[in-house]
């Protein structure tokens, strides 16, 4: 994690960490790394080691006192570059990367909340975050209070003296609805409660929640930040004191969910092209959203930068572009969605998002299929059984539009 240590001193002398003076893309490529610190390798080396050797007991003690650079569960030079770079891009003091986005959520909640504490969440969240808050956390005596944060005044009754954190996504998975980061943060802070935002759908290229008053940002690095669909990862970014706690408790002994250094390397490679990719994802998604909105078989479309989106003004305030995620429904409903997906010839039917490849999925079909193995699987609040989620990739937009049009024509 960032903050202190011999390595940070090296970074400051190396000439590549003048954070404020360089633009976003320059920092996405160079921040916290200089070839002179790593045998002149231009790309970050992947340190495959489980532990670190010391020249004396005294040196070993000194490393332990710096926060445990003794063992690769809690420290690796490759992942540390990624942590410093992501923290810088989000405007955070410090960062922590872990093995998946769900590991980031577990690390966050299990480090900051204890039995008897309360967590306020928006009523719609990524499905496995819902499983964690509905089934996981109550087993440990943490009370979860779901509210509709599209009206931030709902926080006034939801927050009690036991509330430790307010948590939400924006844009919200899978609805692509928008929550107002600054309005929610102001209300929570007025009651002394911290705010954590899952900004996975936007990435720091389009939205930086800390600039709008949030305290902590969570990312599934599996999605846009890596962007190539070939590894998993998660990140937490925020103030140095909180991140120290997440590192020292959450990663070290609660989850132990360390990111593999090779994954950190892949994610840094993806990060170098993040804003180029987000430009293309956003432009193509807007064109597709407009086409779908005008199509007679389509009953509704949710895309944050569409004029018809109820959160458009807030989206334009806190995001620079709309990203590549959209949701829509067909007049032919549940059956129509299944039929349409089966007729796609180019888009891939898959549940992830944020990749070069366009991915499309129908949550209601997956939920029904899961009920055979998990009786309590249910649709997420606010998600209808007609909803189709589309993660627009980097293919030629005309090919994507053509694929959707030919599939819709079969209805
Ligand atoms: N947050 C959001 C908004 C997601 O969409 C996902 C995964 O789909 C996660 C968190 C979890 O991330 P991971 O799959 O890397 O565990």
* Per-domain boundaries in the chain: 4-271, 274-408
CA of 328 to the centre of ligand 1 (A): 20
Q: Looking at the CA of residue 173, tell me the nearest atom of ligand 1.
A: 3
The rounded Å distance from CA 102 to ligand 1 centre is: 6
CATH class of 4-271: alpha beta
- Atom 11, ligand 1: residue with shortest CA distance: 101
Burial of 395 (0-12, 13-18, 19+ CB in 10 A): middle
Identify the H or E element spanning 171: none
Catalytic residue among 194, 223, 277, 389: 223
Q: Does domain 274-408 have CATH number 3.40.50.300?
A: no
The finding on whether 198 has its CB within 6 A of some atom of ligand 1 is yes
- pTM for this structure? 0.95
Please choose, from the candidates 123, 177, 148, the residue with its C-alpha nearest in 3D space to the C-alpha of residue 310: 177
Pick the catalytic residue: 71, 73, 269, 368?
73
Question: How many residues comprise the chain?
Answer: 411
Please, what is the Cα angle at 145 between 143 and 151, to 5 degrees? Answer: 160
With a cut of 50, list the residues of the chain below it in pLDDT.
1-18
Cβ of 275 below 6 Å from ligand 1: no
**Does the CB atom of residue 102 touch ligand 1 within 6 A?**
yes
**Bridge partners, residue 388, by sequence:** 328
Please give the distance, rounded to the nearest whole angstrom, from the Cα atom of residue 305 to the centre of ligand 1: 22
**Residue of 97, 99, 102 to mutate, ligand 1, most atoms within 8 A of C-beta:** 102
* CA 14 to ligand 1 centroid distance, Å: 35
Is 156 a catalytic site residue?
no
Q: Say if ligand 1 is within 6 A of residue 273 CB.
A: no
Residue 222: closest CA among 351, 37, 336? 351
* pLDDT for the residue numbered 20: 63
Q: 131 CB contacts (<8 Å, ≥6 apart)?
A: none
What's residue 14's pLDDT?
Answer: 40
Q: Do 4-271 and 274-408 come out as alike in CATH topology?
A: no
Residue 126 is a catalytic residue: yes
**Given phi > 0 = left and psi -120 to 50 = alpha, else beta, which region is 4?**
left
Handedness of CA 266, 271, 315, 109 (dihedral sign): positive
Verify whether ligand 1 is closer than 6 Å to residue 391 (CB atom): no
pLDDT of residue 6: 39
Question: pLDDT at position 257, please?
Answer: 98
Nearest CA to ligand 1 atom 8: 352
Name the helix (H) or strand (E) containing 96. Answer: strand 94-98
Tell the burial category of 50 from Cβ atoms under 10 Å away from its Cβ (0-12, 13-18, 19+): exposed
CA of 138 to the centre of ligand 1 (A): 21
pLDDT of residue 399: 99
198 catalytically annotated: yes
Paired with 330 in beta bridges are 298
Q: What is the predicted pLDDT for the residue at 4?
A: 37
Is 164 marked active-site? Answer: no
């Amino acid at each position: 994690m960032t903050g202190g240590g011999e390595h940070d001193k090296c970074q400051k002398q190396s000439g590549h960490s003048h954070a404020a003076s360089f633009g976003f893309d320059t920092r996405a490529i160079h921040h916290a790394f200089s070839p002179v610190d790593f045998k002149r390798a231009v790309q970050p080396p992947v340190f495959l080691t489980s532990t670190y050797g010391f020249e004396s007991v005294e040196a070993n003690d000194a490393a332990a006192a710096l926060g445990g650079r003794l063992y690769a569960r809690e420290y690796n030079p490759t992942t540390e570059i990624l942590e410093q770079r992501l923290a810088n891009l989000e405007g955070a003091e410090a960062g922590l990367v872990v093995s998946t986005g769900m590991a980031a959520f577990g690390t966050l909640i299990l480090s900051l909340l204890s039995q008897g504490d309360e967590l306020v969440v928006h009523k719609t969240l990524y499905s496995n975050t819902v499983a964690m808050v509905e089934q996981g956390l109550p087993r440990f005596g943490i009370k979860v209070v779901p509210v509709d944060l599209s009206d931030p005044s709902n926080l006034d009754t939801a927050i009690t003296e036991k509330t430790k954190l307010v948590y939400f996504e924006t844009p919200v998975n899978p609805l692509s609805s928008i929550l107002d980061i600054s309005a929610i943060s102001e209300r929570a802070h007025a009651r002394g409660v911290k705010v954590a935002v899952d900004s996975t759908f936007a990435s720091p290229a389009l939205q930086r929640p800390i600039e709008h008053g949030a305290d902590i940002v969570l990312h599934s690095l599996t999605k846009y930040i890596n962007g190539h669909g070939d590894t998993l990862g998660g990140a937490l970014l925020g103030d140095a004191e909180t991140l120290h706690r997440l590192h020292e408790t959450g990663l070290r002994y609660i989850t132990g969910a360390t990111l593999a250094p090779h994954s950190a390397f892949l994610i840094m490679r993806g990060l170098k092209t993040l804003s180029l990719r987000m430009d293309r994802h956003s432009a193509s998604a807007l064109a597709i959203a407009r086409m779908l909105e005008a199509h007679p078989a389509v009953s509704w479309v949710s895309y944050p930068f569409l004029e018809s989106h109820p959160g458009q003004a807030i989206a334009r305030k806190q995001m620079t572009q709309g990203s590549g995620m959209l949701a829509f429904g067909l007049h032919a409903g549940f059956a129509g969605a299944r039929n349409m997906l089966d007729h796609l010839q180019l888009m891939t039917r898959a549940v992830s998002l944020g990749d070069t490849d366009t991915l499309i999925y129908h949550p209601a079909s997956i939920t029904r299929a899961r009920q055979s193995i998990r009786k309590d699987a249910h649709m997420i609040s606010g998600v209808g059984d007609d909803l189709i989620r589309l993660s627009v990739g980097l293919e030629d937009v005309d090919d994507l539009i053509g694929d959707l049009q030919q599939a819709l024509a079969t209805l």
